[in-house]
Amino acid sequence: MKKCAVIYNPKSGKHKNMADFLNVTKKILSHYHYEATFFKTSKPGDATNIILDLDNDYFLAIIAGGDGTLNEGVTGNFMREKKLLLASLPIGTTNDVGSMYGYTKNYQKDLELLLNGTVKNVDTCFLNSKPFIYAACFGNYVDVSYATPRNLKEKFGRFGYLLYGIKKIFSHLQQYSIEYEIDGQRKEGEFSFLFITNSNRLAGRRLYKNVKLNDNMFEVAFCKAKRKRELMKMIPVILSPTVKKIPGIVYYRTSHLTIKLKNGVEESWCLDGEEYFTTEHVFHFSVQNDMQMLVPKRNVHKLFKEEDKI
């Protein structure tokens, strides 16, 4: 039997009977010859500390939660001397990462998809020294992901984010004066929000085509909308595979990006759906490809370059 750690967030998604979830998960893992040990998170940062403290004899660590819980697990893995093989079991509300990999809404089926999966080296992006899996966002309305009240998310699922977002859309559209360096060129501009992503999905919608998770690259999109009516015209297409062709969107694909907030504002970023507050004004984005994950085979041919074979 191989040792498997299951780090689970009991507050993720709509699972009310965690005892059933744990019992079924343990049985399925045993069927696949894994000896499971379960670790419950109770506050922010727990998944990071649990991963950091796991012994090296664990063959696999499964993060059962939302995208934010997975982010914490990856953060802990990069703090270790010897990284563990990680896997994501999405049981959160939105689960952009899970949808990208081809998971369903049935955790039992998803666990079997995972355990029948394949090991891949997966790109991990960094905002300065902080890892993120699929998205770093800054600017207007990006707090919808983490500020939406939990009761709305539990009661309405994804629709809860929309209800909260409708309230936010009537607030002032702020502009941010930004200097940035990309591909050896220095530029500047006024932007209302920006996305740095390593995913083909964001906010439950398909965002880009042909994203690869092992090419040491990430996507960058800056939005120039200065007035709400400009933004309202963009909304129907901004979260679509045509986003890089939209007038008012500045798009790049790169491996290194440096951003400086010229007016020195102190606001939170949204990293993998969770709030990340920092007093820094200069942000370096980079990518590494030295972490292994066990992923379902369903979308591997779409998400990974052919030469990446284990």
pLDDT of 246 = 73
Contact 6, 38 (CB under 8 A): yes
Locus of tokens 């379902």: 296
pLDDT bracket for residue 171 (50, 70, 90): low
**Sign (positive or negative) of CA dihedral 70, 74, 75, 80:** positive
Would you tell me how many other CB atoms lie within 10 Å of the CB of residue 37? 14
Strands 2-8 and 34-40: parallel
Q: Would you call 100 exposed, middle or buried from its count of C-beta atoms within 10 A (0-12, 13-18, 19+)? A: buried
pLDDT of 190 = 93
Per-residue pLDDT of 238-282, as tens digits, reads 555 566 667 788 999 999 999 998 877 677 898 998 889 888 889
Per-residue pLDDT of 148-169, as tens digits, reads 545 545 554 554 444 444 455 5
User: Domain limits of the chain?
Assistant: 2-116, 130-287
pLDDT of 65 = 92
Decide if pLDDT at 174 tops 90: no
Decide if pLDDT at 294 tops 80: yes
What is the second-level CATH architecture of the domain 2-116? 3-Layer(aba) Sandwich (3.40)
Would you tell me how many other CB atoms lie within 10 Å of the CB of residue 237? 13
Helix residue spans in 169-243 (DSSP H): 228-238
pLDDT of 162 = 45
Give strand ranges (E) for the chain.
Answer: 2-8, 34-40, 60-65, 86-90, 118-127, 130-132, 135-139, 176-182, 185-191, 193-197, 201-202, 205-206, 218-223, 249-254, 257-261, 269-271, 274-276, 282-295
Helix residue spans in 120-187 (DSSP H): 144-147, 150-156, 158-168
Per-residue pLDDT of 130-154, as tens digits, reads 999 999 999 877 766 655 545 545 5
Per-residue pLDDT of 29-64, as tens digits, reads 999 999 999 999 999 999 999 999 999 999 999 999
pLDDT of 13 = 63
Quick one: average pLDDT of 196-209? 80
Record the pTM.
0.86
pLDDT of 146 = 58
What is the second-level CATH architecture of the domain 130-287? Sandwich (2.60)
